[in-house]
Structure 1
């Protein structure tokens, strides 16, 4: 991975992490395009730079983190399903991370769901999140273990299914990203450490660049997304996902056909 590739991947991460379009899916597509998807450092990079993006949530919602402990208890409850299922399905999830077809199919299916989600649930009036609601949102979030599903999309839809407003569901999804993505980063980093993976000074610099770029881009993406979502809903993201998924499938099979020829 070179510096330009690191910057491009970080921009993609910052733009897509909190949008319902799947940051993991986009990162797999981009890294596959660069020809670095199977590289161990690329896999580590795409996880570690999530730290930069979640710091954007801390900065934008700084005052919200000084609420009662009840706020943190609910985040913990919502985080638990990802802990157990993530550990249980770790090897299976890793096997999917290099497969653009899985991403494309997930993008398309998720796109059709987003086209209908506003009709199914509307913009709910519920603004308080119970412990049971938090747990249900946590299970919805686990759907994003399949690349292309979208962590934010799954958790927001989960919140809306419990009659939360779009804004409240989206903001809780942002907060839930912090323990979820931090936990994933720690686990993946430890796995690489246990395997004896050594980072060079150049790779450390790329991780720093990736985190900084992801942080700055995510700041803009979150503010724009909340403003747009509260007024317009999800349809544009549904259309985008379907188009992106179809394009990935066409490119994949077209290139494969050319290779065979």
Structure 2
């Protein structure tokens, strides 16, 4: 991997991490297009640069993280199932699911279909206009949806946004809760992966991780702002259609 490759992957990660389109699927597809082999370092790189995108959310919502206790209660409750399943299934996911092209294609497609359904559902049933009003039981259910994102192609943001809308959050609040929940979730995931893998990295590889982190951070700031502005005025239908189209493109590259 070259510094140029790290910049490209960092940009893709920052752009797609908070969009309901599967950042992992896009990173795998991008790596294939630019000619990178999907080896152990590439897998760890794809996981680790998510930290840059997560730090962007922490930066944008710093005041809320420091002062909003009611939101923190819901973040902690929603994090519990993901933390438990993530710890138990880490080796299986990284060893067998990350890099499995058929799994990515299926989940990109199904995620698009479910996103279209959830958005239609939201037209009639999304009445919660503040995360602080979300019942804790429903926050836990959103966490269960997020835990599905351990499977490549599902999309962590997509799963939590779908879960949020099905639990009654309006589109903007579902997106914001997805951003906020990403912080403990991805800090834990990336921290654990770096803890398990850092001793195998060379100085050059740490340099590449730093580049990917910085680009991901800057790109994610813009991506978060644009997504909130978009869903405040429109809906998630374009993202559902996009996922289905990308699944077809992905299958062309990897399955035929």
TM-score category (smaller protein): over 0.9
Q: Is the 8 A contact 1:28 1:37 kept in 2?
A: no
Alignment of 1:87-126 (within 5 A): 87-94=87-94, 95-122=96-123, 124-126=126-128
Deviation, structure 1 residue 218: 0.5
- Aligned pair partner of 1:235 in 224, 230, 237: 237
Deviation, structure 1 residue 35: 4.2
CA RMSD of aligned residues (A): 1.6
Length, aligned pairs only: 251
Query: 2-side partners of 1:21 and 1:245: how far apart?
Result: 10
Query: 2-side partners of 1:71 and 1:109: how far apart?
Result: 30
The Cα offsets for residues 123-180 of structure 1, whole Å up to 9 and x where unpaired, read as: 7221212211211110010111111111001101111111111111111110110000
Structure 1: 4+ residue segments shifted above 6 A: none
- Which residue of structure 1 aligns with residue 63 of structure 2? 63
Query: 2-side partners of 1:75 and 1:46: how far apart?
Result: 24
Q: Which runs of 5+ in 1 are unaligned?
A: 255-261
Alignment of 1:51-200 (within 5 A): 51-94=51-94, 95-122=96-123, 124-126=126-128, 127=130, 128-193=133-198, 196-197=199-200, 199-200=201-202
Tell which structure's C-alpha radius of gyration is larger: 1
- Which residue of structure 2 aligns with residue 46 of structure 1? 46
Query: 2-side partners of 1:202 and 1:111: how far apart?
Result: 38
The Cα offsets for residues 48-75 of structure 1, whole Å up to 9 and x where unpaired, read as: 1111111111222222123243332321
Normalising by the residue count of structure 1, what TM-score does the alignment of the two structures yield?
A: 0.91
Normalising by the residue count of structure 2, what TM-score does the alignment of the two structures yield?
A: 0.93
- 1:204 is aligned to 2:206: yes
